[in-house]
Amino acid sequence: MKDITPVKIEKPTVEITKPSYSARSRIYVRSVKGMLETIRRVFGFVFLGIFAIAPWIQFRGQQAILFDLAEQRFNIFTLTLWPQDLTILAYIIIVSAFALFFVTTFAGRVWCGFMCPQTTWTWIYIWFEEKIEGTRNKRIKLDERKMDADKLTRKGLKHFAWVSVALLTALTFVGYFVPINELFIDFFTFNTTFWVAFWVIFFTACTYGNAGYMREIMCTHICPYARFQSAMFDKDTYTVSYDATRGEQRGPRSLKLSPDEVHKKGLGDCIDCNLCVQVCPTGIDIRNGLQYECINCGACVDACNGVMDKMGYEKGLIRFTSEHQLAGGVTKVMRPKLIGYAVVLVLMSALLVYDIVSRAPLDVDIIRDRNSLFRETNEGLIENVYTLKILNKSQLAQTYSVEVLGLTQPKFIGNSSVTVKGGGVYTLPISVAVNPNNLEEGTQRIYFKVTTSVDGDIVEVKERSTFIFTGV
């Protein structure tokens, strides 16, 4: 039977004198060095670099990545997505979601701790705080001081750095939606449009507020991921955990005492230095057990390992581990939930690739003339009028030939060959006339075939329509 014994959660003790509600106390994050901190910085720099550089890349004389909302098209190097390509966007969202589910089931909230933009920008802002205002203790003392020239200068420099980073972030982000080469020049010369300026200022304010002030509030109260991620956890999920069996009873001790002497005194390996709390960006005490506020950044792991090194103890008092390992068991990596997420992820990724590869580089839409079903020409032919919308989904100009199928000896009135610029839409009015002797009364199914050559390969699209003749 499944064990449904409630999990005991040890909550931090709260002083009786503390009011039931109080304003948010600021978290002063202490800097830390270690392997996980290095990995986190590498991830941060890589993804930050991609974010900053990507919109500046040019491809075939134009911005390689441009989400042009005004023209309703997304350019990603050779790929141009239109509203008709909604399935590709849906596949991308589904693949991203299941990738997140898979990683969370395996290693908890490592996305939050290592790659989330909120976390990355928060650490950037904390870095400026430390460089300008000093270490954690110096920042606390600085905030306790009355305002003087030194404090005003430091605070001013810090906020100037924050606003500068926020502005560069906003300009880069908006640069994914409007040509970035023109954006920077137009913005700083006050020649940009109202809406572009509005969104730059809006995202500047959001970045400044989120990374400068809200910080852990985004992770603990606003981000929905913090609320539903526990549904993907199980006893084999790797999370940042405190080994209470090894660490308790916690307490200070002399460096001269060996581990055996410490254990004889009834003490565990935890010296109760509280460094794990001081380095935590969400301000929790990991020793109180698994908490939804933990973003698995591993800062407490590096801090604790550093202390264990100084004390001469074995590392790993706080580490990435599973509930089964903490209980003395073995972690089952290959389990049904994880395998299920992996299978769906591979399947949806394959469908995404297939949809992109098999996607035709053109789209055709046919609109019949609504003023009349048909008309008789001076030559006695029966004529139907159509409007063809030819969408060139590629980024290079293409020449298309048009022909009609399904009629006997049709007379094509209009251009049978047109050239459409890259990413352009061409409206082609045409008429199709047929000898009434070759027609049956009623509605006949016909096809318009549009053909072009892309990189030496023949590409054609057949679009169905109708030819109407009710007798004369």
Whole-number pLDDT of residue 25: 67
User: Cβ of 80: how many Cβ atoms within 10 Å?
Assistant: 21
d(CA 12, CA 33): 26
Tokens for 160? 């100037």
What are the sequence ranges of the domains in the chain? 35-232+336-349, 239-326, 362-469
Mean pLDDT of 394-416: 88
Give which of 428, 351, 326, 336 is closest to 386, Cα–Cα.
Answer: 428
User: Cβ of 223: how many Cβ atoms within 10 Å?
Assistant: 15
d(CA 218, CA 359): 39
Whole-number pLDDT of residue 327: 86
**In the 8-state DSSP scheme, what is residue 31?**
P
223-282: pLDDT as tens digits: 888 777 778 888 899 999 999 999 989 888 888 888 888 888 889 999 999 999 999 999
140-172: pLDDT as tens digits: 999 999 999 999 999 999 999 999 999 999 999
Q: Confidence band (pLDDT; 50, 70, 90) for 374?
A: confident
317-369: pLDDT as tens digits: 999 999 989 888 888 888 899 999 999 999 999 999 998 888 878 889 999 88
Whole-number pLDDT of residue 448: 92
Mean pLDDT of 76-81: 82
Q: Confidence band (pLDDT; 50, 70, 90) for 408?
A: confident
Whole-number pLDDT of residue 12: 46
Say which residue, 385 or 19, is predicted with more confidence: 385
- Average pLDDT of the chain is 87
CATH 1.10.540.10 is held by the domain 362-469:
no
Q: Which residues contact 1 (CB under 8 A, 6 or more apart)?
A: none
Mean pLDDT of 450-462: 83
pLDDT exceeds 70 at position 461: yes
- Beta carbons of 196 and 183 less than 8 angstroms apart: yes
pLDDT exceeds 80 at position 15: no
Query: In sequence order, what DSSP letters do the residues of 189-242 get, joined into one string?
Result: TT-S-HHHHHHHHHHHHHHHHIIIIITHHIIIII-THHHHGGGG--TT--EEEE
